[in-house]
Amino acid sequence: MRAHRHGAVRKAQEERVTVGFHSPLPPARTGVADYSAALLGALQKLGRVRSNVNHADVHLYHIGNNQLHRAIYRQAMARPGVVVLHDAVLQHLFLGSLTEGEYVDEFVYNYGEWHRDRGHQLWRERASSATDERYFRYAMLKRIATTSLAVIVHNPGAADLVRQHAPEAPIVTIPHLFDPPAPVLSPDPVAAIDFRRALGIPIDGYLFGSFGYQRESKRLLPVLETFVRLRLAFPEETRARIGMLVAGEFVSSDLARACAPLLKTPGVYRVPYLGERDFRIAASAVDACINLRVPAAGETSGIGIRLMGMGKPVLLTEAQENSSFPQGSFLPVPAGVAESAALFDYMGILALDHALSREIGRIAAEHVGREHALARISQLYWEVLCKNATSPSFA
């Protein structure tokens, strides 16, 4: 009876909590906006959640590593709350929003006065920050982690980065959410066939896909080079049945120029940025997804989660960020010198063994559907938010 009464009191307290929700939202072209829209709707079913309000019992700030999050980061500093780090490396946020003096001071705050010269060097050489491993090595998380009431991350790699910068920070790992479309919004299977037919992709062939904003860290250039080698290794009849879809905008002009000749090779199909409906159709049309990250920034790929949840085998970089996925649910591609050989082997096996491909996708969908379900994830968020609320009932 006492436990029941305590639970009822707790529920009544939670119902009085007001949460301030701060994030880019659609139509912003970012995965964080799509993630946040799904989470916002789910949280509003649990309690009072208001977007971009000044007054609340607890605020939730979504922070990523680009300029869409500049104002939100400043709000999180001025009015501390619960922060979710979609990227656990904030280098590029600071490079794009601070002056040289401010950047170097922030660098020193994170790593000590003896690193001031390194801060100046990184600022001067920032033109290479998209690909230079040094900029990913220095995550610059100390201020946000020590200021916030709690830090939510999506994977063990991100948790470790936060812990390195702020050992005492309260860190909560909540898996990246998966929000499948309602059955009425799910792509018609015929739409996937029509998508392939419109691009000239063999209906009975095997199609790999790379989705999202194309930048150097997604390793598209070595993926395309490996794909070309793979097709040439097969007899002509088999070769013609293997394809590679590249979907999304290039955010690096250098990468676009480097990939241009390969994008014109047989078997490679190119489509630009896809809206939500077209993305679902294209994702349904591919047989496997290649979604690498080198260097990693502590992120869990929303695209990777969505494709796994749809039952597609996904090739992911073998890294701490992906260590919580169970064995057999994805194909781990080592970074470095072994990357090309692993890509070649995995892509070849999947293209030839469709039963194995489907089994990997089944295991992935089962795991994501259970551990990343929106209802489960939103409840985990709600518990963290209520624990950190400052209303009198939670004092």
Please name the residue that has the structure tokens 């491909």. 357
pLDDT the model gives residue 183: 65
The pLDDT value recorded for residue 340 is 96
| Beta carbons within 8 Å of 95's beta carbon, 6+ residues apart | 103, 123, 126, 129, 135
SS3 content of the chain, % helix, strand, coil (to 5): 55, 15, 35
**Predicted structure pTM score:** 0.92
The helix or strand, by DSSP H or E, that contains position 351, with its residue range, turns out to be: helix 339-352
User: Residues, the chain, total?
Assistant: 395
Q: How far apart (Å, rounded) are the C-alpha atoms in residues 105 and 143?
A: 12
pLDDT at 236: 87
**Predicted pLDDT of residue 311:** 96
Q: How far apart are CA 188 and CA 136, in angstroms?
A: 41
What confidence score (pLDDT) does residue 313 get?
98
Phi, psi for 248 (deg, rounded to 5):
120, 170
- Name, in order, each residue with C-beta under 8 angstroms of 157's C-beta and a sequence gap of 6 or more: 88, 296, 298, 319, 320, 321, 322, 323
Six-digit token pair at 371?
A: 């551990």
Q: How far apart are CA 368 and CA 338, in angstroms?
A: 28
Which domains occur in the chain, in start order?
2-90+139-177+374-394 (3.40.50), 183-371 (3.40.50.2000)
Tokens read off for 118: 């390194």
pLDDT for 296 equals 87
Residue 10 is predicted with a pLDDT of: 54
Residue 314, number of CB atoms within 10 A of its CB: 27
**pLDDT at residue number 27:** 87
What's the token pair of residue 336? 């470095």
- pLDDT given at position 15: 66
The predicted structure's pLDDT at residue 93 = 95
Q: How many CA atoms lie within 13 A of 230 on its CB side?
A: 29
How distant, in Å, are the alpha carbons of 96, 106, 116, 144, 354 from that of 102? 11, 6, 12, 16, 54
Query: Tokens 């700030």 identify what position?
Result: 61
How many Å apart are CA 275 and CA 266, to the nearest integer? Answer: 26
Cβ atoms of 285 and 195 within 8 Å: the answer is yes
Q: Residue 49's pLDDT is what?
A: 98
Q: In a structure prediction context, what are the per-residue pLDDT tens digits for the chain, which is 395 residues long?
A: 555 544 443 554 566 899 999 999 998 888 899 999 999 999 999 999 999 999 999 999 999 988 889 999 999 999 999 999 999 999 999 999 999 999 999 999 999 999 999 999 999 999 999 889 999 999 999 999 999 999 999 999 999 999 999 999 999 999 999 998 776 456 778 999 999 999 999 988 999 999 999 999 999 999 999 999 999 999 988 888 999 999 999 988 999 999 999 999 999 999 998 888 899 999 999 999 999 999 988 999 999 999 999 999 999 999 999 999 999 999 999 999 999 999 999 999 999 999 999 999 999 999 999 999 999 999 999 999 999 998 544 43
DSSP-based three-state secondary structure for 355:
helix
What is the structure's pLDDT at 8? Answer: 41
Q: Which amino acid is at 166?
A: A
Q: Residue 14 has what pLDDT? A: 61
What pLDDT, on a 0 to 100 scale, did the predictor assign at position 185? 56
Half-sphere exposure (Cβ direction) of 393: Cα atoms closer than 13 Å: 13
